[in-house]
C-alpha cells in the first residue's frame, strides 16, 4: 500500500527535507582534494544534529548496520559507499546521499559533485543523471501513473548524446521509493520502463524519492565485501541524484530543494506547488 499524506504531514516532510538540503549543501561546499569521506560525514552529522533531527542512514537496515549519516560513493561506486578514511583526489566524482528524520518524518536526497576539475565525460555523466531526475520529477502530477515517471527518466537519458568513449548505463536493481514515516516504502520507482504495468496512480499526498543512477558503461553492479558498497561491474564511473517529491493539488513540491523545485521545474514548463512553510 502507498502511504498517502495529508497537507499537514507534507509540511512536516518539507521541514525534514530542508534539513537534508542544508546537510548536502554543507557537504558540497566542503568537497575538495585531500578531504576524506569521513570528514564529509561529520559535517552532515553536525547539520542534522543542529536541527534536532536524527539520521535515517545510521541505523539497522534489515539486519545490516550502516555506520554513516551519508553514503559517500566515489567514482565506480554507485551507491551505499561507507564514509571513512578514503581521501578525495582531484578529478574524482563523489555521489553523496543523505537523509534525516524530523518529528517522525523522513527526508532523503543525493547529489553528485566533482572534486575540482574532472574529465568532460564525468561532467556530462552528472548533468545527464541530474537532468533525468528533473524529467521524472516533472511527471509527479495528479492523475499520472508511476510508469510516467520511469518513462520520463529513461527517455531523457536515451535522448542524450553519448559520451566520447562510453554509453549511458541505467543501473538495474536500484531505484527510487516511497518515503514518509519510513525511509523506504512502497512503491519501488524504476528508472526505466519494464513490462506493461502502469503502477499506481499519482494522487495528492503521494511522496516519492526520485533517484536515477547512471554509469558511463554497464547497467550491472555488484556489492563489495563490506556488504554495502555497490560498484559497477566494469569499473566505469557512476552518478547518483535524488530528491524527495510530493504530489499536491497544485503540482509537484520538491521537499529536499531549498526553492521547492521552482527554478528547475520552470525550465520544463511545470509550476511547482507553493511551499507550505512559506
Closest CA to 25 of 52, 2, 46, 55: 46
CA gap 172, 198 in Å, rounded: 18
End-to-end CA distance of the chain: 31
The DSSP H or E segment spanning 121 is: helix 120-137
CA gap 45, 179 in Å, rounded: 21
146-159 and 120-137 helices cross at what angle (nearest 10)?
150
The DSSP H or E segment spanning 210 is: strand 207-210
| Whole-number average pLDDT of the chain | 97
37-50 and 7-30 helices cross at what angle (nearest 10)?
140
pLDDT at 92 over 90: yes
pLDDT at 96 over 90: yes
pLDDT-based confidence at residue 150 (cuts at 50, 70, 90): very high
CA distances from 11 to 7, 137, 181, 206 (A): 6, 18, 13, 13
pLDDT digits (tens, 9 = 90+) for 11-69: 999 999 999 999 999 999 999 999 999 999 999 999 999 999 999 999 888 889 999 99
pLDDT digits (tens, 9 = 90+) for 196-219: 778 999 999 999 999 999 999 999
Closest CA to 177 of 271, 275, 108: 108
Closest CA to 253 of 213, 199, 212, 208: 208
Amino acid at each position: 500500500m502507498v502511504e498517502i499524506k495529508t497537507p499537514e504531514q507534507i509540511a512536516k516532510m518539507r521541514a525534514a527535507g530542508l534539513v537534508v538540503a542544508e546537510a548536502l549543501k554543507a557537504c558540497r561546499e566542503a568537497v575538495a582534494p585531500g578531504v576524506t569521506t569521513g570528514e564529509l560525514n561529520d559535517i552532515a552529522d553536525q547539520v542534522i544534529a543542529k536541527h534536532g533531527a536524527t539520521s535515517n542512514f545510521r541505523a539497522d537496515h534489515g539486519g545490516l548496520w550502516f555506520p554513516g549519516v551519508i553514503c559517500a560513493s566515489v567514482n565506480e561506486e554507485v551507491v551505499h559507499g561507507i564514509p571513512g578514511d578514503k581521501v578525495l583526489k582531484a578529478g574524482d566524482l563523489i555521489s553523496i546521499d543523505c537523509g534525516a528524520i524530523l518529528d517522525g518524518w523522513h527526508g532523503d536526497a543525493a547529489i553528485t559533485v566533482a572534486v575540482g576539475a574532472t574529465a568532460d565525460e564525468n561532467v556530462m555523466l552528472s548533468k545527464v543523471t541530474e537532468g533525468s531526475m528533473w524529467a521524472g520529477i516533472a511527471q509527479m502530477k495528479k492523475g499520472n501513473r508511476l510508469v510516467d515517471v520511469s518513462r520520463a527518466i529513461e527517455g531523457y537519458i536515451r535522448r542524450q548524446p553519448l559520451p566520447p568513449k562510453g554509453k549511458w548505463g541505467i543501473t538495474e536493481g536500484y531505484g527510487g521509493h516511497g518515503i514518509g514515516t519510513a525511509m523506504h516504502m512502497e512503491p519501488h520507482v524504476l528508472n526505466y520502463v519494464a513490462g506493461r504495468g502502469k503502477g499506481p496512480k499519482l494522487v495528492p499526498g503521494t511522496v516519492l524519492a526520485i533517484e536515477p543512477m547512471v554509469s558511463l558503461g554497464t547497467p550491472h553492479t555488484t556489492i563489495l565485501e563490506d556488504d554495502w558498497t555497490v560498484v559497477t561491474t566494469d569499473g566505469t564511473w557512476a552518478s547518483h541524484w535524488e530528491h524527495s517529491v510530493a504530489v499536491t493539488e497544485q503540482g509537484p513540491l520538491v521537499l529536499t530543494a531549498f526553492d521547492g523545485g521552482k527554478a528547475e521545474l520552470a525550465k520544463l514548463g511545470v509550476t511547482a506547488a507553493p511551499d507550505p512553510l512559506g
